[in-house]
Chains A and B, each alone.
Chain A
């Protein structure tokens, strides 16, 4: 027996969690929204999800090869990016554009900056912004679920009044997701189911999503109406990409702060920018840009929110 004993520094046991398990949990949490996407947008949604996932995994595999690094496709993070990117696309986006988006997310945004854990922006959202800048027309053409090829506007665009025609969908339809929009963002119900799973599995914590949504609600209530404090905040909370963004994108580990205080700052910052873009900006929707902007200041937030430590400050 002697000589075969393993000697290492404690601890000698491990919780058994792994990066792959966490990514798998995120994928599981995205399933309800995926089903909603298939239900409302049919084949277009299925093809988009398939295309972006293939593009992302392929991008990960190829960059690993080029950079002579060991393969990281097994950690499933590229699959998560692929699904999230598809969820952020209009069903009208051509598949070739979605494919380019997937490659851009992984190769340019993630791998060129060091791969998993090192990218400074959410890859899926950066790819969405890239596609928006490159092919704005298909990126902002919407359809009402079930009535194929009938052009429509998103509820937020209607609310903003920028679009000429259309009637505001009911809150109930917003909650179910039976409205125009990106394929994975429309159903608040499905997204909340997935979010509940992530919270239950402790993959994410409540700080960022709650402060994000609460800030959007607060500011749209104060400033969103014709007179102060009359804004339809519930509509703003349920419409657009807020649920998807708050629970699945702003909580992205690599591009969000790690401390309690930092997470609250991140959520409030995202909420504030979203409200400003929605109410005063040129776009009807601001969730993805707000998260991208806040991603950029995460290193700064981390630097100024170093905890004082137990016994380092007054405790109650």
Chain B
């Protein structure tokens, strides 16, 4: 049985908190409204195709992707467009969004029909139209990855089922509830890219999923399930590739550089279901958790549903949450308002109590080196932080600033409570803004 022998250096072992693992996914009823932003991926924002007062149907394209790295946006409900206006995104930028009031009919758009037999180029074009992006959290348009430049020969497919962030069990539920879909999706991606060998990496703390998929994978030639050591950030792309294939992605390069294509389990299972139904990406499996949530569970949510309504469906709050986080506690984005909508990349919604998110007050660096030992990219966070606090941004480049994957291990372990990964983010954006890396 293949078990990964390699393990990346560093990393941390935070408490798992995967209490929702054995709870079957519950489908949430229609929300009172959906707010669908025109940017839910890495790349260029979409152009709205509808205006106030229009009637839209489920699966109808409402945002057009006009550049290569982009992904179209679809209506998740049938109903009337209540407004098309800019909203404040959780990263602080303004993004156009379409607000739709559902009519309760959930009438399908005519474009939603099984794809049938298609040849490769036509299928890739269809996949682009499905709006699929990497569902692991980053949201990179999938069709771009499936269609690499001809000079990059891909020979290994790595499917990410690590799910190393605490609390989240959405990928795990997919592996338990829809293992056939995942394997069919893997087969589809292998056919599309001509890759002969696929590895599905799952952390060892999910034995049921490993066993289930191993049994089913016997029917799929070239697909192997690999048990991974449970260690955050095992699901980090470069860490995963190293654990599964032993290949090291060079600094600053993409996985294609070493012939590897990485896809999340939910992304490939979506591709399989899209082939059958033609229904674009309009819903997500989301883990709703955290100390403030009355009934933590996995919910199938329509994209655009306000977070508030998702939490209300889960029984509301037992205590006032101090933070609402979209994603995991290590890399998720804190939300400024419960009115913000669920996005394509949303895999978890956490309402954490003050106790759960308690931070150590920031004090001076004692040079303990714990951040250096924890860094899975083998960097020196303390030195980058020192450069930033001294205002010597350009000096931080010698510590391989851009190699940082922002996993947050350094800040997690810092006994002085220093904002290490936060200062890396600041340095990256400031250096770019000031053009310091060009000199």
Contacts and interface: CB of A to CB of B under 8 A. Distances in A.
Contacts of B317: 1
Contacts of B364: 115-118
Contacts of B331: 10-11
A311 B251 contact: yes
Nearest to A263: B369
B380 A22 contact: no
Contacts, number: 169
Q: Which of A6, A13, A117, A302 has the most B CB atoms < 10 Å from its CB?
A: A13
Given A1-B320, A253-B369, A311-B238, A14 B333 contact: no
A149 interface: no
B398 A306 contact: yes
B372 interface: yes
A18 B361 CA distance: 9
Contacts of A19: 363, 366, 415-416
Interface in B301-323: 317, 320-323
Interface stretch (B32-40, B185-193, B334-342): B334-342
Contacts of A7: 323, 334-336
Given A259-B369, A311-B238, A10 B12 contact: no
Given A14-B411, A309-B403, A22 B357 contact: no
Interface of B is mostly: loop
A259 B380 CA distance: 8
A12 B412 CA distance: 8
Given A5-B323, A19-B366, A309 B330 contact: no
Given A10-B330, A13-B329, A17-B413, A308 B336 contact: no
A226 B393 CA distance: 57
A16 interface: yes
Contacts of B350: 12
Contact of A311 (B369, B403, B425): B403
Contact of A117 (B14, B242, B366): B366
A311 B248 contact: yes
B382 interface: yes
A1 B339 CA distance: 11
Contacts of B322: 5-6
A227 interface: no
Nearest to A298: B367
B387 to A, nearest CB: 12
A14 B338 CA distance: 24
A116 B372 CA distance: 19
Nearest to A4: B320
B251 A15 contact: no
A228 interface: no
A312 B404 CA distance: 12
A167 interface: no
A15 B368 contact: no
B372 A259 contact: yes
B399 interface: yes
Contacts of B327: 10
B320 A6 contact: no
A310 B378 contact: yes
Interface string A74-102: 01010000000000000000000000000
Interface residues of B, number: 73
A2 B338 contact: yes
A2 B307 CA distance: 12
A18 B360 contact: yes
A14 B367 CA distance: 18
A281 interface: no
Given A14-B417, A117-B365, A205 B373 contact: yes
Contacts of B417: 14, 18
A11 B368 CA distance: 20
Contacts of A308: 378, 400
Interface in A300-316: 302, 306-312, 314-315
- Give the size range of A's interface with the partner: 35 or more
Contacts of B357: 6, 12-13
A10 B252 CA distance: 22
A13 B166 contact: yes
A73 B166 CA distance: 35
Q: Which of A11, A16, A205 has the most B CB atoms < 10 Å from its CB?
A: A11
A6 B323 contact: yes
Nearest to A9: B422
A307 B378 contact: yes
A307 B380 contact: yes
B278 interface: no
Contact of B363 (A5, A75, A256, A312): A75
A9 B419 contact: yes
Contacts of A2: 337-339
Contacts of B369: 205, 253, 257-259
B50 interface: no
A105 B191 CA distance: 70
A15 B14 contact: yes
Nearest to B330: A11
Interface string A286-309: 000000000000000010001111
A258 B380 contact: yes
Given A4-B320, A17-B413, A312 B400 contact: yes
Contacts of B335: 5, 7
Contacts of A141: none
B363 A12 contact: no
Contacts of B366: 19, 22, 77, 116-117, 253-254
A21 interface: yes
A251 B418 CA distance: 21
Interface string B378-404: 111011000000000000001110010
30 contacts: A5-B321, A5-B322, A5-B323, A8-B334, A9-B425, A10-B334, A10-B406, A11-B412, A11-B421, A12-B323, A13-B14, A15-B413, A16-B358, A18-B360, A21-B415, A22-B366, A115-B364, A116-B364, A117-B364, A117-B365, A117-B367, A118-B364, A253-B366, A258-B369, A306-B399, A311-B238, A311-B248, A311-B253, A315-B242, A315-B248
Given A14-B360, A306-B380, 5 more contacts: A5-B321, A12-B323, A16-B358, A307-B379, A312-B250
Interface of A: 1-2, 4-19, 21-22, 75, 77, 115-118, 205, 253-254, 256-259, 302, 306-312, 314-315
Interface of B: 8-9, 12, 14, 166, 238, 242, 248-253, 317, 320-325, 327, 329-339, 350, 352, 356-360, 363-370, 372-373, 376-380, 382-383, 398-400, 403, 406, 408, 411-417, 419, 421-422, 425
